[in-house]
Structure 1
Amino acid sequence: MKFKFKIASILAFILGLLSIIAGSKVLFEIDIKAYTVIKWLVIYNVVFGFISIITSYLIWSKHQLLKQAVLFILISHSSILLYLYFLNKSVASESIKAMLFRVGVWLIIFLLIINHKIKKP
């Protein structure tokens, strides 16, 4: 059972770190994309990269707020994915694929931790 939390925590940390690195490179124009970049989406990804790293700690330490944090990220990413797919006409397919990947990873993380019994302090 403990390995599920370690796997979930490591996934959250890696995804968060990658989001920070990739997004920062785009924001600082180190990595110039050949497609239209939606700046608010890149900022969202960087911010949620930091939130993901914090959540990875919550998962690792089995903090009582870990389910809420994971659900918050999963719902946020899913909402953005739905917006990009259905409502935004200028979004690049790469952005949709990246958000779909994030939703998939966070769904796996959610499934890994869903049965955790929260211990009250």
Structure 2
Amino acid sequence: MKTTLIIATILAILMGILSVFSGSMVLLGLRSVDYKVLDWLVVYNLTLGIISILVAYQIGKQHIRSKLMIMTILLLHFLVLVYLYFFNDMVADESIKAMGFRVGIWVAILILALLNHTKSLSNKIKS
């Protein structure tokens, strides 16, 4: 597996694990914070964390649909970020920053996956 895919896979796994861990801690009441928690956002992050781990597996296996799955996660995170930033005046700054971080990481994962795809195409053309 190419270095770009290894890095993309590791990033996706880490994002998934972190989301599942932090979401589970909040939902189970094992972690309390000093700002308002949006329950739907915690459930969203937990769900996308699980999906991220599954997508990481697909990236590692170079599944044909992995780029589509990456773009879907990125789009969902971006839409939630826009909603949090512009349409929800009750959201904590920490939630906006965390979603912005997720968007940034998934942009990096997409770039890495596309770089690998471009390298693969150029190698096929040369052959």
| TM-score interval for Structure 1 and Structure 2 normalised by the shorter chain | over 0.9
Q: Deviations over 1:69-109 (max 9, x none)?
A: 00000000000000000000100000000000000000000
Q: Give unmatched runs, 5+ long, in structure 1.
A: none
**What is aligned with 1:55?**
55
Map 1:1-121 onto structure 2 (within 5 A).
Answer: 2-115=2-115, 116=117
| Letter in structure 1 aligned against 2:53 | I
Taking the aligned partners of 1:54 and 1:87, their CA distance within structure 2 comes to: 30
- Bigger Rg, which one: 2
| TM-score between both structures, scaled by the size of structure 2 | 0.90
Q: Give unmatched runs, 5+ long, in structure 2.
A: 121-127
Q: Deviations over 1:27-79 (max 9, x none)?
A: 11100110000000000000000000000001000001101100000000000
SS at match of 1:33: coil
Between the aligned residues of both structures, percent identity stands at: 46
Q: Which has the higher helix share?
A: 2
Taking the aligned partners of 2:30 and 2:100, their CA distance within structure 1 comes to: 24
User: Once superposed, which parts of structure 1, at least 4 consecutive aligned residues long, lie more than 4 Å away?
Assistant: none
Task: Output the aligned Cα RMSD.
Answer: 1.5
Taking the aligned partners of 1:105 and 1:67, their CA distance within structure 2 comes to: 14
| Letter in structure 1 aligned against 2:63 | H
Alpha-carbon shift at residue 114 of structure 1 (Å): 1.5
| TM-score between both structures, scaled by the size of structure 1 | 0.94
